[in-house]
Amino acid sequence: MTVYGRKPVLEALGDPELTVDKVVLADGVDRDAVRTFTEAARARGLTLQRASAQRVKVLAGNGRQDQGVLADVVAPRMRTVEHFLEELPDAADARVLVLDGLTNPANVGMILRSATGAGLEGVLLPRRGAPSIDPLVVKASAGIAFHAPVLRARTAADGLAALAEAGFVLLGLDGSGGTTLFDAELPGRVALVVGGETDGITDDVRAELHGTVTIPLADGVESLNAACAATVACFELARRQQ
């Protein structure tokens, strides 16, 4: 995982549970930054690498928020869906949350924190149709994004197809009614899909689903924020497991 921005990089360097592969600082940054990152890198047994500001922007993939520094961090629980399924024992139960069409990095960060806190085995974060794990996601997760059980696939639909083939029942969180999440019979292997903030579950993902469940709301409340709905779902899955 490539992390950029001064605070996220310092947080990564200060986390003894993370393996940091390298730290790259742009030429032309202020002396305080040079001193701070040189000392932080040295404390981790790393030599601070220097590069042009343009090179740092290219490596970070974000020319506005890199702040002249990046680090390559080993995310110990990040893997492809295929790798996750290969490691999953044949008879093992597993609970996966799938993010479909979310656009707000803060929501993604909060969801990663909730899913990790609830002990879910995976959070499918597709490469297309969802924010990358950037400083905004890391900040919203309070640093948990580094340790979250993130599963990667090209698209959410691709990931769901692989999960279905491995025996997962695919359910979407949908506010339009039907069986409530609290009353539904959930199998041992289940993937719950959280749709985007504006448009909900996308058509290609909906075509993969085996059904939908809803979170019952009172007093005329029409819907929950995506991160709130995901948190409710995560801890209902955790409660069921217990």
User: What are the tens digits of pLDDT across the range 17-33?
Assistant: 889 999 999 999 999 99
Query: Average of pLDDT values for 206-221?
Result: 92
- Model confidence at 177, pLDDT cuts 50, 70, 90, reads low
- Model confidence at 221, pLDDT cuts 50, 70, 90, reads confident
Query: Average of pLDDT values for 98-114?
Result: 95
Q: Go through the domains of the chain in sequence order and give each one's CATH number.
A: 2-74 (3.30.1330.30), 79-241 (3.40.1280.10)
Check: CB of residue 5 under 8 Å from CB of residue 66.
yes
Q: Which residue has the higher pLDDT, 198 or 95?
A: 95
What pTM, to 2 d.p., does this model score?
0.85
Round the CA-based radius of gyration of the chain to a whole number and report it.
20
- Strand pairing class (150-152; 211-213): unpaired
Residue 21, classed as helix, strand or coil, is strand
Please write the tens of the pLDDT for every residue from 39-60: 999 999 999 999 999 999 888 8
Strand partners, 22: 72
What amino acid is encoded at 184 in this protein?
A
The whole-angstrom separation of Cα 203 and Cα 186 is: 23
Please write the tens of the pLDDT for every residue from 129-158: 888 887 788 888 888 888 899 999 999 999
Q: Would you state the structure tokens that stand for residue 183, as one six-digit string? A: 């009353």
The whole-angstrom separation of Cα 108 and Cα 130 is: 8
End-to-end C-alpha distance for the chain, whole angstroms: 32
Strand partners, 192: 97, 171
Greatest CA span in the chain, whole angstroms? 60
* C-alpha torsion angle, residues 62, 112, 88, 184 (rounded to 10): -130
- Model confidence at 239, pLDDT cuts 50, 70, 90, reads very high
